[in-house]
Amino acid sequence: MQEKDVIQQVKAGGHEQFAHLVRKYQNMVFRVCLGFVHNQEDANDLTQEVFINAFQNLHSFDGRAKFSTWLYRIAVNATLNAQRKKSRWKFFSLIDHRMGNPTQDQEWLLPPEKNDPEQTMINHQERQLIEQAIDGLPEKQRTAFVLSKYDDLPQREIAAIMNTSEGSVEQLLIRAKANLQKKLAPYYIKSDGVHRKMEADGSNN
């Protein structure tokens, strides 16, 4: 059965059919929510909220956008609304270590090494700094950045989700990256200085 037929059945009162949509999209919605809140329990709660919202408002889905795009919008709005109620929120994972190497964009999703306590501590401190930097981004920049980095969505899809143009999304991503580099530069300069000093000390031994 095609997705549009399932949606029509749900709209016609076949509420049990909505379970098909939940099974198909629950992982996608969870990833988006987790990408913003960086907490599995909160992401699970938000995922349930998104699907309740989607079910209650399915009559408003007119099919002009993809159903996944429509769900993305609900998920983004749900997470942003939840975060507005909190004094601070946490992002989901590490950004690429230097924010400038496109070949390593996926490495920032990896957990810290568990067999190196010192590196784990460094990674934890870095993660906190990165999360704080992302917290400080304007809302639209943060949304575009999360959708781009976390779900690897193309700019066209992000534009559809955010109801804007691809050019605007591109500018949001450029400004977001520039702002993050500016916020994180003092840490990395200091960190590099420490590393250089350690290397110099080591070379004298």
**In whole angstroms, what is the distance from residue 20 CA to residue 16 CA?**
8
Q: What are phi and psi of 91, to 5 degrees?
A: -85, 175
| Confidence (pTM) | 0.70
CA distances 195 to 3, 176, 191, Å, are: 54, 27, 6
30-39, 92-101, 137-146: which is most confident? 137-146
Going by pLDDT thresholds of 50, 70 and 90, the confidence category of residue 198 is: very low
Going by pLDDT thresholds of 50, 70 and 90, the confidence category of residue 168 is: very high
Three-state DSSP at 137 gives coil
Angle value at C-alpha 146, between 140 and 151, nearest 5 degrees: 135
pLDDT per position as a tens digit, 38-86? 788 999 999 999 999 999 999 999 888 899 999 999 999 999 888 877 6
